[in-house]
Amino acid sequence: MNVQLFETAKQDADITLEQWEEFAQSFVMGQAQKGEILLGHDQEAKYIWIVVSGVMRNFDNDSKGKEYTKVFRGPGEMLGPYSEILSRSKTRYSIQAVTQTTFIRFPYAQFESMMAKYPQWERLGRKIAEKNFLEKEKREYELMHLSAEDRYQEFLKQYGALAEQIPQYQVASLLAISPEALNRLLKNKKA
């Protein structure tokens, strides 16, 4: 996992192995049970998680308890309160283990100090921000242009094998529809 991430970093921004090791000093391994909340609402936004195995998600719920999921992440992917860190605010969206997971966690401050020290890391930081931006643009497009059904198709395409590990009501919360609506949509598909 660690190795795979380094390879990407090397390719994106010529990160050296020495630098990566300096960075990885801050890594802490951990595990979480299905459903466990790793970062709750209104807490301090400090850490980024890397999924080693399992599925994690970033979600919140409104005043009526309705859930909204921003993203699911699987093995080799990162997630965390990125926007809250950037805007220096308390967390709005929680981080949760969707399934039993193993993860690596590091403080974003460590990444920041790498960026301050090495221009290549600044570049890596830019690439990451750009990638996240592109992801959000795609999402904006889907939310604006597509029907619930078409968003579901996109979901399948994007998440592939991960999709099966995610409970239906959480998928609904990603698509911004009710669990009942998703259920009916699926029923009609089969017929």
Q: Which residues bind a copy of itself (CB under 8 A)?
A: 62, 68, 70, 82-83, 86-87, 115, 119, 122-123, 125-126, 129-130, 132-134, 136-137, 139-140, 143-145, 176
Biggest CA–CA distance in the chain, Å, is 59
The partner in contact with residue 29, picked from a copy of itself, DNA, none with C-beta cut-offs of 5 to 8 angstroms by kind, is none
Contacts of 39 (CB under 8 A, 6+ apart): 45, 47, 80, 81, 91, 94, 95
CB of residue 136 to a copy of itself, shortest distance in Å: 4
Which of 26, 158 has the CB closer to DNA? 158
Which of 17, 144 has the CB closer to a copy of itself? 144
Residues paired with 31 in a beta bridge: 102
CB of residue 124 to a copy of itself, shortest distance in Å: 9
The partner in contact with residue 129, picked from DNA, a copy of itself, none with C-beta cut-offs of 5 to 8 angstroms by kind, is a copy of itself
The partner in contact with residue 89, picked from a copy of itself, DNA, none with C-beta cut-offs of 5 to 8 angstroms by kind, is none
Which of 66, 136 has the CB closer to DNA? 66
The upper half-sphere exposure of residue 2, i.e. CA atoms within 13 Å in the direction of its Cβ, equals 15
Say if residues 146 and 154 touch (Cβ distance below 8 Å): yes
Which of 102, 113 has the CB closer to a copy of itself? 113
β-pairing, 56-61 with 37-39?
unpaired
Length of the chain: 191
CA distance 2 to 178: 37
Which of 59, 103 has the CB closer to a copy of itself? 59
Which residues would be at the binding site for DNA (CB under 7 A)?
35, 64, 66, 147-149, 167-169, 176-181, 183-187
CB of residue 190 to a copy of itself, shortest distance in Å: 27
